Amino acid sequence: MGLGAVALSLTLGALPGTAHAADTGQTSRAAETPLSREGYWPLEAAPGGIAPNVQADGLPLTLNGDAWIYHNEDIFGDAALVDQGDLRLDGDGDWAATSAAPVGGDGSFTLAARARPAAADDRTQTVLSLPGSHADRLAIRYQAATGKWEVVVSTKDKADAPQVVVTEEQALPDDDPYGVGDHLAVVYDAPAHELRFYVNGQLANTSTAADTTSWTASGGLQVGRSAIRGEYFEGTVDEVRAYSGVANTTMISQMSALTGLPDL
C-alpha cells in the first residue's frame, strides 16, 4: 500500500494559534533523550494466560476474556503476523493488560505494535492504550468515521478533556485475513514537544506542540481495548513494545520488520 508523509502542527494544552512548526534543533534534542526498553511482548505463548515480557523484570501481559495466543504448528497453516505466534481477539470483551503502566506518558516514550483488524468496518477499535482514571493518556486505534488509523491524546485526565487526534492520511488499515497487518508506532518526544505517528515504519503524521499537559497514566497498558471507552479490537495483535525515551526513525523501521528482534 502506498504511504506518504504528511506534516501537521497541533498544540496540546495551549491556546489556539500557538501551534508552531518543528525547529531545526529537534533532531539533536531527540538524540539526547535516553532510551530504555520497558517491555517487549512477542506474544509467542501465554502459559496460564500470562504472556511473558522479554525485558528482564518487566511486567507481563495478562490475557482477559477469550483472548488467546495462536501458534502455528503447521507450515501449511495460517501464518502468524510475526514468527510463529500472535494474539487473537474477537472484539467481544477480550484484551490483554499489564498490572501497571510500563510508561507513564509524563515524559518521552515510544509504543508500538503490529495489528490486523478482522474487518475495518463501522466500529472504532483500539489497539493500544494507556488509561488514567477518566481518560486515555494515549490511544492508538482504528477510527470508523474516517476509515484510518489514528492516535488520540487527552490533554487532561477528565472525561470531557480536549483531545488531539493525529490521523494517518495515506494508508487504509490492512484487514486482509491472510495479510501481515500494519505496524503502528507512536513516539512522544518531550524535549522537542513532538508526537510522531509511524505506520509501517514511515512517518505518517507529525504533531508539534508546546505540551504543558503531560499527565501520568495510572492504569496498565491495554492491548485490544480502551479501558475508558471499550472499543474492543477484533483481529490480531503482535510484537507489542514499550520504551521510556525516544526511538529514532531507524529503530522504528527495524521494529516494523516481519521477524522478531529480541535485542532491539
Write the DSSP symbol of residue 224: S
pTM above 0.75, yes or no: yes
Judge contact between 87 and 196, C-beta under 8 A: no
pLDDT tens for each residue of 142-163: 999 999 999 999 999 999 999 8
Q: In the chain, which ranges are continuous DSSP H helix?
A: 26-31, 249-255
Distance of CA 207 to the CA centre of its chain: 16
pLDDT of residue 205: 65
E-assigned strand segments in 155-245: 163-167, 182-189, 194-199, 202-208, 222-223, 234-244
Closest CA relative to residue 152, chosen from 123, 173, 128: 128
Query: Domain limits of the chain?
Result: 6-13+25-36+103-255
Fold topology of 6-13+25-36+103-255? Jelly Rolls (2.60.120)
pLDDT tens for each residue of 216-252: 999 999 999 999 999 999 999 999 999 999 999 999 9
pLDDT tens for each residue of 1-60: 433 333 333 333 332 333 333 333 344 344 455 899 999 999 999 999 999 999 999 999
In whole angstroms, how far apart are CA 68 and each of 94, 185, 261? Answer: 9, 23, 22
Triad 88, 90, 92: Cα angle to 5°: 140
Residue with cell 510500563: 102
In this structure, what C-alpha cell is assigned to residue 92? 467481544
> What does the alpha-carbon distance between residue 67 and residue 230 come to, in Å, rounded to a whole number?
15
